[in-house]
Structures are given as structure tokens and as C-alpha cells.
Structure 1
């Protein structure tokens, strides 16, 4: 799927085909034993339901004319028992099918969520997040009726049709053939309507996705909206997008609701034909009891036929959403474990870039062009240079969020492409400029770095990075609940929590990408001591525009034009009087001028 805005309809990479329902069957298979139990009960209920019309035939043609009260009471008792049995079967079917259907939906939702966790950053960068969210929640939910009722009811209705036809042919072959005369008309009508219906629901899914994406974007950017007084303009846009969804919905349901009255009318016509033919033959070829029984059976026949038509209707509707669900599941992660990838053993922290060349697009400009360096365990490396020079790309290649085009990146001598992603990233700690804090307590957010950490370990980590002081002053201390993205905390507080989380995880390689940018100067001075503790004994890569934070680094790499233009300690580069010297002097002059 190409990059798109919230109001751009998504084009399907691959159109839906009926073989994809086999994939849906993979989620049904684990519950086949439960499904067979339900089917068995349904078959028993269908057989029991056949007794009613047949009882009416016997009662009218034989029992009542003979005035056999005893047999009438016995037959009535059996009929009552069959009705009670069918009621129990209905209750069992509804409960069992609903539970099975919801279990299947839960499995599907887990599959797509788990898959999303492994997709590259580029997938999320190129799509409004609302359009991703709607696939996990809304589109999966639209399958609820199909899986909870439709599938089992389809099999039930097929059995019902077969059993009913068997009884109808047993009673009167000629009337049965008259009952089926309008089936070809039904088939043609269904094919005509469902073709239009599928296209209508594809269009509807696009408009629903656009609406969800705009709502998500608006909520995420509410602070900017209110800051620039954009509420009225945004309301107009929302109204337009919402109206497009309403129009698409009305078109879709108008097509969908053509099927039910069409099938209903055909069933009424078929019943009328039976009345017309049967009444003319009463007393000649057909008895009164046979005609009444046959009318009962023809209702038993057409009701499941109508249900099968409705199921096919639901199937066509669901296909528009399955297309999007399976399209997401079919996205192949650009970065994944190579065949035969081995688990990276505990590392010391040596990092080697060997003539690395990288570009984001094939045939595009080289972002890194022949980068070559060797880092020994425990060294701290600062990456500085102009925006877009390739600093973040270096750490992304080290974490294997992207793969090199040429050369290699090695950790302790292992090419990162030859080890499993989990074992590589589990031994790295990454702290970004946009620190993410999850909804929950501060204790839980810090523990995110090490799930089995004790409260004492968490507090110790917080003390080292100078987060403990502000945490203990909060109303509930470490049990203070923070909102989504840590909106109740300052940017500096969120970054201090992120520092504690990274320290607790105890990675051998630590990556700090502008991790101190939101911390004020006073807090930064306090944090420097904690940072030295954080960096001690581990290899670290630090990207920082505030050069005061990197003066004590083991090495400083000035990245420019996709290459390491200058390398050395702070003092060495200052003596060189090159690009780093110029950059440092410029910042120093700005500070003095301020």
C-alpha cells in the first residue's frame, strides 16, 4: 500500500479471491470438535422439526376421521416433546456458537496484532495509524456474525434443506418438483445483487477507514488544533469525511437489502404455486392432510434457503473487510530472521562497521557511503554532524531496523544479519528523543525494561539517573498512574523515567538518540553523574546536538556526507580545528550571546 493521507482511498494490492476463505478456515480448525458437537445437536433438532408437518398429515387424514382420541393425545404429547427438545437445542446452539465465534475472532485479532509488532518502521510511517487500528478492531468485529452464527447456521440450513427435501419427495414427488421451479430465478438474482454488493462494501470500507484515520489524527493533534484555533475548520473536514461514509453506507445497505425481499417474494410465489396445484388436485391425487403437511414442509424448505441467501450476503460483505485484514497479514517484514539464524550469545559490546553502504531506496542516494570503524567494549561513541548526515542511520543499522546494501555490521564478530532479531535487540537499550511512556504506574513503566525486577531494583535505577527525587514527590510515588504517552508528566520527567528503564534492562550496548534534548540545563547537570553510571561497562552510541553532553565520550565521530569526516576525542578534534571545532565554537558563541 502506498503512502496516503487520511482522505485518500486505499487501493488493494491483491483483490480478494474465494480461496482466501481457506485461510479463514485455519482459524476455525482448532474448534472443530466443538463445532461437530453443535452440528450433531442441530441435526437432531432438524429431524425433530420434521415431525410437526408429518403429524398434521396423519392427524387430518387418519386420526381425526377415525376419532381416535388416545392416538391424538399420544401424538400431541410427542409433538410437544419435540417442540421442547428443539427449544433446548436452540438455546445450546446460540450459546455454543457465540462462544466459538468469539474465540475465533480473538485468535484472528491476536494474529494481526502479533504481525504488526514485527513490521518495519516504514510500514507505520507510510500509513495513518487510524487506518491500521480499524483493521485490528472494526474489521475483525464485522466478522462476528459470520463466524458466530453464519458458518454453523449454513451447515444447519443445508442439513435442514436436505432432510426437508427427503420428506417432501417421500410424500409427493410432483408437488416437490413444482416447489423447486423458481430456484433458477433465485440463483440469477443472487449473482446479480452480490456482484454490486461486494463493490459497494469495498467502497464503504475505504470511507470507514478514512473516517477512523481522521478521528485518530485529530485526537493525537488536539493540542495543536486548540493552539491554532482550528476547531471549526476541523469540524468542517470531519463533517465532509463523515458524510462520505454515510453516503457509502446508504449505497451499500440499499444493495444488500435487495436480497432478502427478493428471496422472500420467490418463496411466496413458490408457496402460491403449491396452493394452486394442490387445491386443484385435492381428492384426486392429493389429500387434504398431504397438502397441509406439504405447505409446512415448503416453509421448512424456503426458510433455510432464505438463511443461506443471507449467509451468502454476509459472505460478500465480509469479503470487503477480509481483503484488508489479509492484505495486512500478507505484508512481509523487510527485516526478519534469515534462514538458519543463530541466537546471539551474551555479548561484550564490540561493534564493527565494515565498509558499510546504505540507501533507503534501490538506486537512490547513498545515505552512508563506505563507513568503516571498530569500537571496543565499553567505549562511548558520540555521533555529531548536520541533520540528514546519517547519524540515526548508523544506530538503525546496528539495531537492524534496516539492512546494509553493502559491507557488514558486526557485534562481537557476529554479522547482525546472521543472528535472531530477538537475541540481538534484547542486548541493546535504545532511548529516543520522543520518549514513550505507557499508560499505567511509573513503577510499571520502569519495569518495562526488566519484567522480573524488584521494587528495590527499580528504585535503585531511578536514584542513579536522578529520577527518584521527582517520583517520590508525586502524590502516589512509584504507584502514580500516568496517562497515555505520559501526558501528565513533563518532557524531562518522561526522559528520566526512560533513563531508569534503560539502566534497569542492563544492556551491553546503549543507544541514546537525542535522549537529553528535553532536559533542562539544571537537570542535565544532575543527570551527568547518573549518565556516567549508566554508561559504565557498556558500549554506547550517543547522538546529541547539545555538545556539552558528549565532551567526555571515548570518541567523537563527525558524520557528514554519509562518511565519518572526523574522528577523535573532544580535545583531539578541537586541536584539529576542523568541522567539529567549528560546530562546538558556534554553540559556545550562542551560549555566551544568550
Structure 2
């Protein structure tokens, strides 16, 4: 899924107000940044004024008595301006980084609070772009954008006011090329706005492509798709390159144009200033000061365009960030109940569920699991088995019906409490780039090393962990790449055991292991299920024959319910699945 283009406004008041709310904890930084901005603008014309006074009253008159004092005064002024600019840059960057630190924390917390449905249609690479690079553009609003723009505008106002006060005719001569510069600036700003949107669009697509293809590298190599995927990457990378080249091309045109306009203004100043000096209407010091003023006028105007572009980038970034924060796909009605004890009775009462409203995945599902019982779910792929455990943990919300835990609607339980009550062992085990121990306890300080070792012994994984370099401190690589599928599955069993859930869900938990490993952990599974309500999904019917009850699902509907022997006597769906599987195994 490709990124959608966002057309932001250069100055969106609503977005700026929203960003302003994040400044409240750092109000002192902001106030001091504004104060220093005013100081920089107010002191900007002082150096040209001092040069003018020195030239007219001391150098041209041959009076060197006060020259040393004024030279020291100018050096002191330069030192003062340097210190002010240093602290101004430090404060604005600290302000920007502090704001995006808070924003990044908020957006990550928001993302972790979203329902899984959101991630079904949102590429992970896009969220990474939002959380990293788009946030950096917001920092630039404060460090290089808004405050700097205000400072440059104030400096222009102060300098032009001093120029008019000094000599209004000379000032008008200098400003003659200004309309050309305003027109050039406007067209450059619009061109850069479009160019930046293209750059951000292709950056997001590039991140999305890389994330998906690096994660799925094994599939690419299994099916020898390296060349085809490389061609796709080259196309996206080329678009990204071209977008950046276009933005640089606009810069390469704009800045020479500004230099030409500045040269025209300087030429007019020298021409008119020389005539005025010869007619003794103005002094040479005034002309020299005005030459300095020209650079001080044109430099901020030239940089204003870049800063408006930075502001535009920040506005687009803010719009993208707030579009994620405004996503209303969090789990509704998180509940408040946190009882001290859960018995583990589960009731599905006429439950209907669909990932989208067009296709029902579960149709009028009703069943009951008593505390301590084991329920098995069987059926073909797509029958709805995994959907049942997803809605039980409220990863998705049901459309109709009720799911109850101990006679209470699961929506009344606090969400984190509900999910801690239900321990799930999945077929596709996810392991983090961390130690074995931390992958088991998930950094829960209440789970001790002793508890981890004890659980590993029960599962039968202690010996293989001890053989790893570093034992329980062995660094597991991303997604458990350095472990076998069976070893990773064993770690997921230990993880479930140490968290001691009241309800246990095994979703194809032994399908990824070999027969020897399956036998190794079967006894551990029996121990794990003891005194726990359990729901087991398995393709291997041999693993569920001990279940108290078995539900046979087909296309989201319950076809049969009973224990293993009862279902065989029915000579229906389950019997056909059983005969097919064991007949295939005997061939």
C-alpha cells in the first residue's frame, strides 16, 4: 500500500495551536527564545551605525583618538551578538527536541493502544516514517522555522526603519528591485511546497517497501524474486531521487536570482550614493552603512524562503502525525473491573463477527467452557478458529452477541487485566532482539530468574537453553533468527507458563515443531493446562483427543460439538477429518 499525498498549508493556524499545546511544559524555553529573537533583531543595525559613525567622525577626519574605543565597542557588540545567537540556537533546538520527544512518546503510546484492525490496512513502514522522520520536521518548526521567521521579519522591520530614518531617498533606491524579489520568492515557495510533498511521499513509500521486503526476505529468496523486487526498489528509489533533484533544482535557480537582484540593488546604491557624496548631501559613512544594510536585508529574505519551506515541511509532518493521533481505532469501552480471582468460565452467546461488514467470519456462534475444561477447535483453514481467540482477547470487537467471562461481559473488564488473564501461545512465535530471559519475562520485574528456570525445566527447554552461549543471557536475534522453530516455540511455552494466566490458548502451538519436540512438550502442555480453562486449536487431531469437548467449525458456523469418541460416532465432519488425516499419515 502506497503512501497518500498530503497537501498542507504553509501556516495552518489550527495545527500551530495544537502544536502550541505541547509548548506548555517548556514555556520558559519558548519565552526566552522569543526574548533573544527580539534582542537579535534590535541589535542588528548597531554595527552598521557604529561603522558609519567611526568612518565619518574619526577616519575621514583623521581623528584617531576615539577609534580604539569604538573598535573595542564593535568587538564587544560582535561578541554579545555571538553569545545571544548561541543561546538562541541552543534554546530553540532544545525546545524543538523536547516537543518531539513528548510527541513521539504520545504517538507510540497511541499506536500500541490501537486495535489490530488498524494494522491490517496500515503499512508498518508508514508508521515508522510518522514516528521518526515526520516528527523531525516538527522539531525544525521551532529550531529553524517559526521563531526564526519571526526574528527575520523583526530584523527586516528594524533595519528598514533605521534606513528610512537615516536617508529615505537612498532607502527607496535600494528597495527598487524588491518587487522582483517578492515575485521570485512567491513562485519559489509554491514550487518548493510541491517538491517537498513529493519528497515526503516517496520517503514514506521507500520506508514501507524496505520494511516489508526486509521482513519478508526469506519469501523473496525462496521464490527467487530478487531481480523483480530489485526492479521495484529501483523504480521507487529513482522517484525519490528525482523528487530531491527537483527540489535542489529550484534552489539552484532561486539563489542565483537573489544574488542578481542583490547586485542590482548594490549597483543602484553605489551609483546614487556616489552622486550624493559628490554633492555632499550624504556622508561616505552612510553609503558604507547602507552597503552593510543591503546584505542584512537580502540575507534574511533569502533565508525566509528556506524557513518558510521548513515551516511548510513541519506543517505537512504535523498533519501526518495528527492524522495518526486522531485515528479513532482504539478499543472502545476498556472497562474497569479487576477482580481478585477469575474462575475461567467462558460463554459465547450468539456471537457474530466480521473483519469487514461484507463477509461474516463467525455466524451465530454459541458455546460454553466451564472452569478448568479444555475446549478444542478444529476445522479447515478460514473456518474461524483463530478469530474466536482474537475476539476473546478483544483484539477485535464483535458485531453482535455477547462474550462472557465468569458471567460478566468481557467489555466490562479492564482491557489489560483481561489480556493478562488470557495467555496465548501462537504458531508464529515473535521474539525480540534481546536475551532469552527477557524474551520470556518481557521485562516484568516480578518474574524472577528462578521462576524462569523452573518453568523451563517443566517445559523441557532448560537443557537446550543451557547449551546456548550465555545460557539465559544469550542474545536472541530479531524474530529469533538464530533459533530453530521448535526452540522458539518452547520459549513461547515458558513465556506463557511464567505469566501464569487463568485461561490458556494454544493456537496451532505444536504445528511448527517436529515429532520429537512435540512429544517433549506434550507433557509440559498437560502440566500447563492443569487447573486452567484451555482453548486449543490444532490441525493434528492427535493433540486434541484428550479435550473435554471439541467444536468443529466450517465457514464460521458450528457444525458439531462433542468429545472425541462422540464426534467419531456421529460419522460427520470430524470423522471425515479424522479419517483423512490418519489415512494420509499411514500411507
Q: Please indicate, yes or no, whether the TM-score normalized by the shorter chain is above 0.5.
A: yes
Q: For 1:398 and 1:279, locate their aligned partners in 2 and report how far apart those are by CA, in whole Å.
A: 87
What's the counterpart of residue 307 of structure 2?
311
Q: Does 1:293 align with 2:328?
A: no
Partner SS state of residue 307, structure 2: helix
| 209 and 41 in structure 1: CA distance in 2 versus 1, 3 angstrom threshold | closer
Offset of 1:320 from its aligned partner?
Answer: 4.4
- Contact 1:197–1:316 at 8 Å: present in 2 too? no
Cα deviation digits, residues 514-546 of structure 1 (max 9, x gap): 111112222222212211221122222111111
Q: For 1:37 and 1:377, locate their aligned partners in 2 and report how far apart those are by CA, in whole Å.
A: 63
What's the counterpart of residue 84 of structure 2?
89
Q: For 1:513 and 1:534, locate their aligned partners in 2 and report how far apart those are by CA, in whole Å.
A: 14
Offset of 1:322 from its aligned partner?
Answer: 4.0
Paired residues for 1:106-505 under 5 Å: 106-282=101-277, 283-333=279-329, 335-338=330-333, 341-346=335-340, 347-362=342-357, 364-448=358-442, 450-505=444-499
| 193 and 589 in structure 1: CA distance in 2 versus 1, 3 angstrom threshold | same
Cα deviation digits, residues 536-590 of structure 1 (max 9, x gap): 2222211111111112222211112322221122222223332222222322222
Cα deviation digits, residues 388-409 of structure 1 (max 9, x gap): 1111111111111111111111
Q: For 1:293 and 1:203, locate their aligned partners in 2 and report how far apart those are by CA, in whole Å.
A: 43
| 234 and 473 in structure 1: CA distance in 2 versus 1, 3 angstrom threshold | same
Structure 2 unmatched ranges of 5 or more? none
| 419 and 190 in structure 1: CA distance in 2 versus 1, 3 angstrom threshold | farther
Displaced runs of 4 or more, over 6 A = none
Greater CA drift, 143-152 or 428-437: 143-152
| 148 and 229 in structure 1: CA distance in 2 versus 1, 3 angstrom threshold | same
Offset of 1:484 from its aligned partner?
Answer: 0.3
Structure 1 unmatched ranges of 5 or more? none
- Contact 1:398–1:409 at 8 Å: present in 2 too? yes
Q: For 2:322 and 2:190, locate their aligned partners in 1 and report how far apart those are by CA, in whole Å.
A: 21
What's the counterpart of residue 53 of structure 1?
48
Q: For 1:416 and 1:586, locate their aligned partners in 2 and report how far apart those are by CA, in whole Å.
A: 38
Q: For 1:456 and 1:541, locate their aligned partners in 2 and report how far apart those are by CA, in whole Å.
A: 28
| 575 and 21 in structure 1: CA distance in 2 versus 1, 3 angstrom threshold | same
Q: For 1:129 and 1:209, locate their aligned partners in 2 and report how far apart those are by CA, in whole Å.
A: 10
- Contact 2:485–2:512 at 8 Å: present in 1 too? yes
| 50 and 194 in structure 1: CA distance in 2 versus 1, 3 angstrom threshold | closer
- Contact 2:349–2:367 at 8 Å: present in 1 too? yes
Cα deviation digits, residues 97-129 of structure 1 (max 9, x gap): 333333333333333322222233333333443
Q: For 1:253 and 1:330, locate their aligned partners in 2 and report how far apart those are by CA, in whole Å.
A: 34
Q: For 1:173 and 1:327, locate their aligned partners in 2 and report how far apart those are by CA, in whole Å.
A: 50
Greater CA drift, 66-75 or 421-430: 66-75
- Contact 1:260–1:309 at 8 Å: present in 2 too? no
Cα deviation digits, residues 5-33 of structure 1 (max 9, x gap): xxxx4334x64342324333333443231
Q: For 2:77 and 2:396, locate their aligned partners in 1 and report how far apart those are by CA, in whole Å.
A: 66
Match for 1:537 among 522, 531, 540? Answer: 531
Q: For 1:213 and 1:51, locate their aligned partners in 2 and report how far apart those are by CA, in whole Å.
A: 52
Q: For 2:286 and 2:100, locate their aligned partners in 1 and report how far apart those are by CA, in whole Å.
A: 46
Q: What is the TM-score normalised by the length of structure 2?
A: 0.92
Q: For 1:178 and 1:332, locate their aligned partners in 2 and report how far apart those are by CA, in whole Å.
A: 58
What's the counterpart of residue 25 of structure 2?
30
| 376 and 180 in structure 1: CA distance in 2 versus 1, 3 angstrom threshold | farther
Q: For 2:255 and 2:409, locate their aligned partners in 1 and report how far apart those are by CA, in whole Å.
A: 62
Match for 1:567 among 561, 568, 572? Answer: 561
- Contact 2:124–2:208 at 8 Å: present in 1 too? yes
- Contact 2:44–2:159 at 8 Å: present in 1 too? no
- Contact 2:144–2:310 at 8 Å: present in 1 too? no
Q: For 1:263 and 1:326, locate their aligned partners in 2 and report how far apart those are by CA, in whole Å.
A: 36
- Contact 1:39–1:152 at 8 Å: present in 2 too? yes
Q: For 1:50 and 1:41, locate their aligned partners in 2 and report how far apart those are by CA, in whole Å.
A: 15
| 179 and 351 in structure 1: CA distance in 2 versus 1, 3 angstrom threshold | farther
Q: What is the TM-score normalised by the length of structure 1?
A: 0.91
Q: For 1:413 and 1:538, locate their aligned partners in 2 and report how far apart those are by CA, in whole Å.
A: 17
Greater CA drift, 448-457 or 392-401: 448-457
Q: For 2:449 and 2:225, locate their aligned partners in 1 and report how far apart those are by CA, in whole Å.
A: 45
Offset of 1:421 from its aligned partner?
Answer: 2.3
- Contact 1:450–1:504 at 8 Å: present in 2 too? no
Q: For 2:60 and 2:259, locate their aligned partners in 1 and report how far apart those are by CA, in whole Å.
A: 36
Partner SS state of residue 66, structure 2: helix
Greater CA drift, 279-288 or 550-559: 279-288
Cα deviation digits, residues 248-275 of structure 1 (max 9, x gap): 2212322344443344433333333333
